[in-house]
Structure 1
Amino acid sequence: MAKSQKKEKEIEPNPWFTTMIIFLSIISSIALFFIFKKIMNSEKELISITLLPLILGIVFDLKRLEVSWKNILTKIILAIGASLIFAFIPGKNEHHYDLDFHIRYFLFVFIFLLFSIISFIKEKNRINLHQSFQREFY
């Protein structure tokens, strides 16, 4: 009897999704450039430096859960793009648009969305990020 050889199918990336991610990364990088420029020219401290270790910790934990940097970068780009949309939409009763407030709000929305994307995707694989934090620290 001949041995049946299973050929593992490589999952080809969807060209539409890849194009959307590239477009989103270009738009996000342009928006982040202008946000960074506004932060540097502002007289007030718009972003606290203490949020940087929190963001890096989430990315480090994502690297621990994921194998590919491409998947990690895709999730970060999706979180940045969505947080740019959600953080800079004017409020319902906001008559005077305060850009400084929205810049401060942006990082919190980014952290929340990145944590949500990680938790949502890993929930399908039965790995909950909150449970992994509990295993690490308790």
Structure 2
Amino acid sequence: MSAEIVQLMEQTGPYLSAAASTYGVAVFTRAEGAAVDATANLGGRILRAVWRRRDERGRAELEAAVQDTVEAPADDDAAAALRQQVKRALREDAELLGELVRMLPAVGETVNVTASGERSIAANSIGTAVTGDNTAIKL
């Protein structure tokens, strides 16, 4: 697999998970919503771009991966399976890679995200974030 695909998958993972958990399999037929955060909207655009370029079987596999992510949002294996479906599409369609790269914010570009609600956080990449009372982190 090309280094370009690996790098793209590292960048798109959070967007894919956000879209799956926000929209579920409706991500393939849903328009962007102003009330939905930028991360889920971008993830939805990425998933729809992949879905449009897949054949019937590929679409079914992608939908199943999204559904698994919805049903188990904290399951790293479900998120990995979704990323694997996108990787497969990228390996099979060279033009798709360019399309997805153009969708992503440029390195150093500012993306504004608003977190609201008690103990909400918004971050690009901060490592571990913990909210809650009496939380203990053991290393």
TM-score, normalised via structure 2 length: 0.32
Task: Pick the structure with more helix per residue.
Answer: 1
The two structures have a TM-score, normalised by structure 1, of 0.32
Decide which structure has the larger Cα Rg and report it. Answer: 1
